[in-house]
C-alpha cells in the first residue's frame, strides 16, 4: 500500500510503498482509510517532540502518522464478526483491551494495554490502517469518512473539555475559548449546542475569527502581541473575568492569558500543549480558588455522542482536503497557520 512516511524530523514526508497491515489478534480490524485528519500533534511528532517517548517505547523512524481516521472496513478478525466489510466507520484514537480497570470503568484513554495508531503504531496517513473492534464507531447514512475523521481526536478532545466545563458554563456565565482552529472551532459549536454561556473567542487569525460567529461565538477578540486582548476580554466580562477558560492552544502565551482571564473560582481547562504553565500559587491559585483541569481526548461513548451531534447538524467540520500525495502541502499549511478548521488527507476517495 501507499503511505506517507516521516523519515526524519523536520523533513518533508515521503510517499512510498509499505506492507499492508495484517490481522494479528482476534479483535483486529483493518480499515481502508477514507480520511485522516492532520493534527497539531502530527506537527509535534514531525518536529521531534515525541522522540524521547518513542525511544523509551521502542518506536522509531520511518513512521506513518495519522491518528484521526475514518474509512471503510476491509477485513476483520474472528473476534469482530459483528462488523461488516465495506461498513463506513470512524475510529476512536485508541485501540483498547477491554479488560483492565480503566476499560471496565469506561476510561478508554487510560487503558493499560492498548495501541495508538499514528502515535505508537502505524497510523492513517496510508491506504489502510489496523485498529481493533473496540475503537470502531459505525457511521450513520448521512455522514461520510471525510465528514467526520477529525472528530476522533480534535472533535473528541474539544467535546471532552466542553462536557467537563458544562457544570460551570451556566446561563449568565462567561466562557473564553482560546484558539479557533481545529479543536476550537468544534469546541465552540459544542458549547453552543450544550450550554447557554456567553462565548468569547480569542484567536490571532483574522480569518478564523470571521468564522467564529457562525460557529456560535457571541464575541470575538483578536490576540495581539501587546496582550491588549486580555483587557478587552475582561471588559466584556464586566471586569470580573471568565468563569471558564478552555485553552485549545496551550503555547505561545495562551497558557498565561488563560490564568489572567479567569474570574474568582474560575476553571482553566488545559487542552492544547507545548508551553509551560507558571502560576503564582497564592495570588493566582489559592486566593481566587482557581481550578486547573486537564483534558486528554475522551472515551469511546463520548465519541458516539459527538457523532450524534454531528448527525443532527449541531456540529459541522470546517475542513480542507488534500490527497495523500499532498501530505506536505497539508503539513506546511497547518504549520504556517493557513488552515481554517481542519486539514484532512484523503488516501482513498470511495
DSSP 276-307: -----IIIIIITTT-EEEE--S--HHHHHHHH
Mean pLDDT, rounded, for 129-143: 97
Residue 242's DSSP bridge partners are 262
* Cell numbers given for 253: 502565551
- Outline where DSSP puts E strands in the chain: 2-6, 14-17, 28-38, 63-64, 68-76, 88-91, 128-132, 136-138, 174-178, 198-203, 219-222, 242-247, 262-270, 291-294, 319-323, 342-346
**Is pLDDT of 14 > 90?**
yes
Q: How far is CA 50 from CA 4, 29, 54, in A?
A: 18, 26, 6
Give the mean pLDDT of the chain: 96
**Is pLDDT of 324 > 90?**
yes
Contacts of 303 (CB under 8 A, 6+ apart): 90, 92, 137, 151, 152, 155, 156
pLDDT digits (tens, 9 = 90+) for 167-223: 999 999 999 999 999 999 999 999 999 999 999 999 999 999 999 999 999 999 999
pLDDT digits (tens, 9 = 90+) for 280-303: 999 999 999 999 999 999 999 999
pLDDT digits (tens, 9 = 90+) for 53-78: 888 888 889 999 999 999 999 999 99
* Cell numbers given for 325: 500525495
Map out the domains of the chain with their CATH numbers. Answer: 2-153+298-346 (3.90.180.10), 156-294 (3.40.50.720)
- Outline where DSSP puts E strands in 179-218: 198-203
Rounded to whole angstroms, the Cα distance separating 22 from 65 reads: 17
Q: Pick from 113, 112, 110, 74: which is nearest to 91 by CA? A: 74
Rounded to whole angstroms, the Cα distance separating 243 from 257 reads: 14
Rounded to whole angstroms, the Cα distance separating 326 from 158 reads: 27
pTM for the structure as a whole? 0.93
Amino acid at each position: 500500500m501507499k503511505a506517507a512516511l516521516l523519515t526524519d524530523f523536520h523533513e518533508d514526508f515521503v510517499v512510498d510503498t509499505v506492507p499492508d497491515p495484517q490481522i494479528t489478534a482476534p479483535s483486529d480490524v483493518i480499515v481502508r482509510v477514507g480520511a485522516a485528519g492532520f493534527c497539531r500533534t502530527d506537527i509535534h511528532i514531525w518536529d521531534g517532540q515525541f522522540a524521547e517517548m518513542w525511544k523509551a517505547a521502542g518506536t522509531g523512524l520511518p513512521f506513518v502518522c495519522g491518528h484521526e481516521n475514518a474509512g471503510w472496513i476491509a477485513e476483520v478478525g474472528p473476534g469482530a464478526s459483528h462488523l461488516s466489510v465495506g461498513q463506513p466507520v470512524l475510529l476512536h484514537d485508541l485501540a483498547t483491551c477491554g479488560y483492565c480497570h480503566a476499560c471496565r470503568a469506561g476510561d478508554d484513554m487510560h487503558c493499560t494495554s492498548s495501541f495508538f495508531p499514528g502515535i505508537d503504531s502505524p497510523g492513517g496517513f496510508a491506504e489502510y490502517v489496523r485498529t481493533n473492534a473496540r475503537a470502531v464507531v459505525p457511521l450513520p447514512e448521512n455522514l461520510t469518512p471525510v465528514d467526520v475523521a477529525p472528530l476522533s481526536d480534535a472533535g473528541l478532545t474539544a467535546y471532552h473539555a466542553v462536557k467537563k466545563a458544562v457544570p460551570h458554563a451556566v446561563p449568565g456565565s462567561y466562557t473564553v475559548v482560546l484558539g479557533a482552529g481545529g479543536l476550537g472551532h468544534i469546541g465552540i459549536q459544542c458549547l453552543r449546542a450544550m450550554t447557554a454561556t456567553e462565548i468569547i473567542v480569542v484567536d490571532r487569525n483574522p480569518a478564523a475569527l470571521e468564522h467564529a460567529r457562525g460557529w456560535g461565538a457571541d464575541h470575538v477578540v483578536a490576540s495581539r502581541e501587546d496582550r491588549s486582548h486580555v483587557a478587552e476580554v475582561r471588559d466584556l466580562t464586566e471586569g470580573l473575568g471568565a468563569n471558564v477558560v478552555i485553552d485549545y492552544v496551550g503555547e505561545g502565551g495562551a497558557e498565561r492569558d488563560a490564568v489572567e482571564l479567569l474570574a474568582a473560582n474560575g476553571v482553566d481547562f488545559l487542552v492544547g500543549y507545548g508551553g509551560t504553565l507558571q502560576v503564582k500559587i497564592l495570588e493566582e491559585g489559592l486566593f481566587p480558588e482557581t481550578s486547573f483541569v486537564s483534558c486528554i481526548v475522551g472515551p469511546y461513548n463520548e465519541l458516539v455522542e459527538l457523532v450524534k451531534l454531528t448527525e443532527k447538524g449541531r456540529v459541522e467540520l470546517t475542513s480542507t482536503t488534500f490527497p495523500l500525495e499532498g501530505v506536505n502541502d497539508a503539513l506546511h499549511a497547518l504549520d504556517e497557520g493557513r488552515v481554517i478548521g481542519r486539514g484532512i488527507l484523503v488516501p482513498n476517495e470511495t
